[in-house]
């Protein structure tokens, strides 16, 4: 029954029985965790064979001895792999160290302090600069802006990606906006895939934004499908070529959630001009990446077909976890008017919206019953969720039996907080 259809007496009785349930969960002494958006050990096991992929042969396809210094742009075979992953040309791809987040930080810092195309283009020359942040979004993108003193402006997500009317109008009216964060496929945390129209409009932003605008296109979940025949994301760089805006994008990705999250290979895709400038800067910091790890990856996953069949093994391990969360949510909350949630076709998260003003309370109650959830507000710049409603659920790391125990606790917290709020309003 819908929350709003209950009489006051019925709500009082419901509050009492839910409080009893809350007390019982508290006594059970649970210690569970739904916060961690990382692969479980059985997913990491899928790549254990990579350890022996070199077997004493340290020569890359072009004869490079990967044990030695050099090769700033990465091994040719890994640049080709990254190019396919990001949808750009190998000559536009840098294969780097273990983290795409590091590359994002470095690229934003580079644009800010040193200039994407020479000192005159540095954002710092223009005073207070800003980034557009589709919300809810990935907390670590927002942390990069905070660390570098870049002001963040929220833009709402829609089912087809960021609200593009709003994005275009903000960019037309404010030339201090120098960048925009995007997770275009299986957005973290809301799971959307940008539509073809959104991608085409994104590719035209470089023509309406102020000078040296960059879209930070974090395609972290590009091959992380949970279903067969997954939806396809349109190719941003191709759209940019059509509109003559190749310089306006920085495309990133990595094998963190393909092979090993602490020991993958990260990539950045940039126009050849942008890449030349970025590599010149990078060369003041490093002689080259870990090419041994790159070669291990190239030998372990040598074709795109290998990659897709490897990702199917991941899906087989994590889909049952996503399905179990969905089963609990739909059995526990459908038709109750106490919240909405996403049913993603890939990626690492389920996004749950409570009634306005209840995310903090639900997370607090859930924590008190022994289940950790990502802190409220994490999915918004400055950790400020204006409606205090968004909660990110990460099902990959806990095992199925832990999820089965944790979800009834979460549902109890949602019900209890919603009933109490309704009672207060009467
Ligand atoms: C959207 C997004 N981008 C980047 C990362 C981290 O990527 P990497 O391990 O390559 O630094 C994550 C990890 O959760 C993520 O969700």
Say how many Å lie between the CA of residue 267 and the centre of ligand 1: 12
For residue 177, the model assigns a pLDDT of 98
Same fold, 3-43+308-425 and 59-302: no
For residue 31, the model assigns a pLDDT of 94
Say how many Å lie between the CA of residue 100 and the centre of ligand 1: 7
- Measured from the CA of 101, which atom of ligand 1 is nearest? 11
For residue 350, the model assigns a pLDDT of 97
List Cβ neighbours of 138 (8 Å cut-off, separation of 6 or more). 181, 183, 188, 189, 218, 379
Say how many Å lie between the CA of residue 17 and the centre of ligand 1: 41
Q: Which residues line ligand 1 (CB under 6 A)?
A: 37, 99-101, 138, 183, 188, 218, 220, 254, 256, 266
35 neighbors 278 (Cβ within 8 angstroms): no
Domain parsing of the chain, residue ranges: 3-43+308-425, 59-302
For residue 322, the model assigns a pLDDT of 98
Supply angle C-alpha 102, 105, 110, rounded to 5.
Answer: 120
Say how many Å lie between the CA of residue 250 and the centre of ligand 1: 15
For residue 358, the model assigns a pLDDT of 98
pLDDT < 70: residue spans in the chain: none
Instruction: Identify which of 94, 107, 138 to mutate to test ligand 1's pocket (most ligand atoms within 8 A of the CB).
Output: 138
Task: Dig out the tokens for 109 from the structure.
Answer: 């810092």
- Measured from the CA of 38, which atom of ligand 1 is nearest? 14
For residue 214, the model assigns a pLDDT of 98
Q: What is the 3-state secondary structure (H, E, C) of the chain?
A: CCHHHCCHHHHHHHHHHHHHHHHHHHHCCCCEECCCCCCCHHHHHCCHHHHHCCCCCCECCCCCECCCCCCCCCCHHHHHHHHHHHCCCHHHEEECCCCHHHHHHHHHHHHHHHCECEHHHCHHHHCCCEEEEEECCCHHHHHHHHHCCCEEEEEEEECCEECHHHHHHHHHHCCCEEEEEECCCCCCCCCCCCCHHHHHHHHCHHHHCCCCCEEEEECCCCCCECCCCCCCCCCHHHHHHHHCCHHHEEEEEECCCCCCCCCCCEEEECCHHHHHHHHHHHCCCCCCCCHHHHHHHHHHCCCHHHHHHHHHHHHHHHHHHHHHHHHHHHHHHCCCCCEEECCCCECCCEEEEECCCCHHHHHHHHHHCCEECCCCCCCCHHHCCCCCCEEEECCCCCCHHHHHHHHHHHHHHHHHHHHHHHHHHC
Peptide bond into 136 cis (omega under 30): yes
Specify the residue with its C-alpha closest to ligand 1, atom 14: 37
Say how many Å lie between the CA of residue 352 and the centre of ligand 1: 20
The sign of the CA dihedral 106, 111, 113, 118 is positive
CATH code, residues 3-43+308-425 = 3.90.1150.10
- Measured from the CA of 253, which atom of ligand 1 is nearest? 10
Say how many Å lie between the CA of residue 35 and the centre of ligand 1: 14
Instruction: Select from 403, 327, 371, 424 the least CA-distant residue to 15.
Output: 424
Specify the residue with its C-alpha closest to ligand 1, atom 13: 37
Instruction: Identify which of 44, 99, 140 to mutate to test ligand 1's pocket (most ligand atoms within 8 A of the CB).
Output: 140
Specify the residue with its C-alpha closest to ligand 1, atom 3: 220
* Right CATH for 59-302 from 3.40.50.920, 3.30.70.260, 3.40.640.10, 3.40.50.2000: 3.40.640.10
Peptide bond into 345 cis (omega under 30): no
pTM above 0.95, yes or no: yes
Instruction: Select from 123, 104, 120, 103 the least CA-distant residue to 112.
Output: 123
104 neighbors 144 (Cβ within 8 angstroms): yes
Say how many Å lie between the CA of residue 418 and the centre of ligand 1: 33
In this predicted model, what pLDDT tens digit does every residue of 365-381 receive, in sequence order? Answer: 999 999 999 999 999 99
Say how many Å lie between the CA of residue 220 and the centre of ligand 1: 6
Say how many Å lie between the CA of residue 336 and the centre of ligand 1: 34
For residue 82, the model assigns a pLDDT of 98
In this predicted model, what pLDDT tens digit does every residue of 70-99 receive, in sequence order? Answer: 999 999 999 999 999 999 999 999 999 999
Rounded Cα distance, 401 and 367, in Å: 18
- Measured from the CA of 254, which atom of ligand 1 is nearest? 10
């Amino acid at each position: 029954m819908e929350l709003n259809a209950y009489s006051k007496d019925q709500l009082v009785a419901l509050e009492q029985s839910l409080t009893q349930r809350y007390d019982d969960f508290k006594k059970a002494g649970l210690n569970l965790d739904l916060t961690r958006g990382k692969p479980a050990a059985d997913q990491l096991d899928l790549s254990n064979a990579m350890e022996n992929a070199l077997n004493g042969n340290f020569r890359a396809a072009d004869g490079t001895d990967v044990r030695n210094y050099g090769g700033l742009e990465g091994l040719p075979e890994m640049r080709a792999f990254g190019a396919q992953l990001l949808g750009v040309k190998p000559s536009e791809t840098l294969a780097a160290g273990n983290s795409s987040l590091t590359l994002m930080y470095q690229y934003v810092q580079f644009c800010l302090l040193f200039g994407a195309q020479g000192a005159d283009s540095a954002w710092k020359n223009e005073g207070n600069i800003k980034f557009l942040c589709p919300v809810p979004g990935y907390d670590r993108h927002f942390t990069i802006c905070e660390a570098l003193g870049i002001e963040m402006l929220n833009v709402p997500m829609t089912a087809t990606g960021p609200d593009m009317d709003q994005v275009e109008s903000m960019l037309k009216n404010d030339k201090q906006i120098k960048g925009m964060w995007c997770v275009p496929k299986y957005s973290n945390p809301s799971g959307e895939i940008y539509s073809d129209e959104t991608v085409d409009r994104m590719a035209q932003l470089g023509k309406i934004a102020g000078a040296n605008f960059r879209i930070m296109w974090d395609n972290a979940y590009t091959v992380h499908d949970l279903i067969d025949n997954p939806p396809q994301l349109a190719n941003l760089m191709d759209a940019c070529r059509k509109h003559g805006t190749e310089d306006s994008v920085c495309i990133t990705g990595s094998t963190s959630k393909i092979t090993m999250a602490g020991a993958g290979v990260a990539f950045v895709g940039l126009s050849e001009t942008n890449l030349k400038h970025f590599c010149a800067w990078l060369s003041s910091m490093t002689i080259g990446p870990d090419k041994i790890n790159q070669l291990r990856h190239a030998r372990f996953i040598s074709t795109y077909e290998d990659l897709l069949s490897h990702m199917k093994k991941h899906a087989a391990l994590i889909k049952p976890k996503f399905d179990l969360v969905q089963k609990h949510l739909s059995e526990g909350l459908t038709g109750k008017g106490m919240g909405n949630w996403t049913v993603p076709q890939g990626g690492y998260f389920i996004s749950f919206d409570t009634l306005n003003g209840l995310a903090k309370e639900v997370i607090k109650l859930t924590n008190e019953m022994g289940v950790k959830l990502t802190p409220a507000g994490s999915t918004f710049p400055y950790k400020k969720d204006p409606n205090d409603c968004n909660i990110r659920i990460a099902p990959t790391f806990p095992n199925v039996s832990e999820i089965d125990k944790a979800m009834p606790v979460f549902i109890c917290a949602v019900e209890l907080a919603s009933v109490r709020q309704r009672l207060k309003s009467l």
